[in-house]
Amino acid sequence: MEGRIVALQCGIYSVLTNGELLSVPARGAFRNKHIKPVVGDLIELNDTKDVIVEVKERVSFLKRPTIANLDQMIIVHSLVEPEFSYHLLFKYLTYANQNGIKAKIVLTKLDKADKNLVKEIKEVFNKLNVETYFVSNKKGEGIEEVKKIFANHISCLLGQSGVGKSSLLNSIDSNFNRCVGEYSKALGRGKHKTKEVILIPYENGLIADTPGFSSLDLDLFKEDLAQFFPSFNDKYTDCYYSNCLHITENKCAIKDALNRGEIPQIAYDSYLKLSSTASFKNERYKK
């Protein structure tokens, strides 16, 4: 019988199958084959439905948070507390592109935000063709619009601790009753409350609530970053040089788009910052 792993705790998998939630282990032979089932995996149970005997081929996989078979990433970020950061959002969007997953942005704490900042953010991400939503979990503003983006999708919420991921889930459906982390001004970041990855059914889809984190290492070479940075992934093939880094090269489609105003300067500046700390691929200088 086929099912989907929706949670994992202490080596026991919660599997959703035909509306039934089962708690089962995985077969021991997986260890020898270096197979580790993860949340989101489609699996096959044995005839007695008490052990996982097969993990189906994945269509997508994230290492952090560890989850399989997503079709969209919802990047949740706050406008204040923690402080809004373009640079961190660009890193998340690059991470989504790197893993071939469509990303959308939900910005929380609209009730506390500066209106000029909100206007600027809309303009920046509109140029980058990234769907961006603004919500106030406290006042319910923007929630009805955001609800629609989860229907019929397997989505993952990704973002820092304290930005309001669990609060967003509770605003979408109070039955979720996720534990909410209190923002700590003394620490300058959110206190971790969500400790595990868990998939929650919603509107013919599933939503993954995930543990928050304060940093994200992309682990990309310069050449990879030049392909996966938001908006660049749609334009880099038009560059004259196939290994163009969009910095000093001539006939660069990215720099041309920047000069035409199609790519925001703030995005390009963030790209330069990320590129400056990334390494070259060894192959680049092999003779």
Say which CATH number the domain at 178 has: 3.40.50.300
Beta strands 12-17 and 154-158 are: unpaired
33 and 117 assigned to the same domain = no
Instruction: Using the Cα atoms of residue 138, residue 141, residue 146 and residue 147 in order, give the sign of their dihedral.
Output: positive
CATH number of domain containing 233: 1.10.40.50
| Edge-to-edge strand ranges of the sheet holding 154-158 | 132-134, 102-108, 72-78, 154-158, 205-209, 198-202
Contact 91, 75 (CB under 8 A): no
| Last residue of one domain, picked from the residues 209, 235, 262 | 209
What was the pLDDT predicted at 30?
Answer: 84
Mean pLDDT of the chain, nearest integer: 88
With 80 as the cut, is the pLDDT of residue 60 above it?
yes
The predicted-structure confidence for 187-200, as pLDDT tens digits, reads as follows: 343 343 446 788 98
Q: Which has the higher per-residue pLDDT, 161 or 255?
A: 255
List all residues 6 or more positions away from 220 whose beta carbon is below 8 Å from its beta carbon. 94, 98, 228, 278
With 70 as the cut, is the pLDDT of residue 276 above it?
yes
Contact 173, 203 (CB under 8 A): no
How sure is the predictor about 177, in pLDDT bands with cuts at 50, 70 and 90? low
182 and 265 assigned to the same domain = no
What was the pLDDT predicted at 162?
Answer: 81
81 and 124 assigned to the same domain = yes
Tell me which amino acid residue 271 is: Y
What was the pLDDT predicted at 282?
Answer: 62
Residue 215 lies in a domain: no
What was the pLDDT predicted at 188?
Answer: 42
> pTM value?
0.87
The predicted-structure confidence for 31-55, as pLDDT tens digits, reads as follows: 788 889 999 999 999 999 999 999 9
38 and 175 assigned to the same domain = no
Average pLDDT over residues 57-66: 92
Q: Would you tell me the crossing angle of helices 115-127 and 265-277 to the nearest 10 degrees? A: 70
The predicted-structure confidence for 210-253, as pLDDT tens digits, reads as follows: 876 666 788 899 999 999 999 998 899 999 999 999 999 999 99
What was the pLDDT predicted at 170?
Answer: 85
Residue 286 lies in a domain: no
| Cis status of the peptide bond prior to 82, with omega within 30 of 0 | yes
69 and 52 assigned to the same domain = no
Average pLDDT over residues 87-98: 95
Q: Which domain holds residue 165?
A: 62-209
The percentage of the chain sitting over the pLDDT mark of 70, rounded to a whole number, equals 90
Residue 126 lies in a domain: yes
Number of domains in the chain: 3
Give the span between the Cα atoms of 75 and 165, in whole angstroms: 9
Tell me which amino acid residue 36 is: K
What was the pLDDT predicted at 31?
Answer: 79
What was the pLDDT predicted at 283?
Answer: 57
What was the pLDDT predicted at 181?
Answer: 40
What was the pLDDT predicted at 100?
Answer: 94
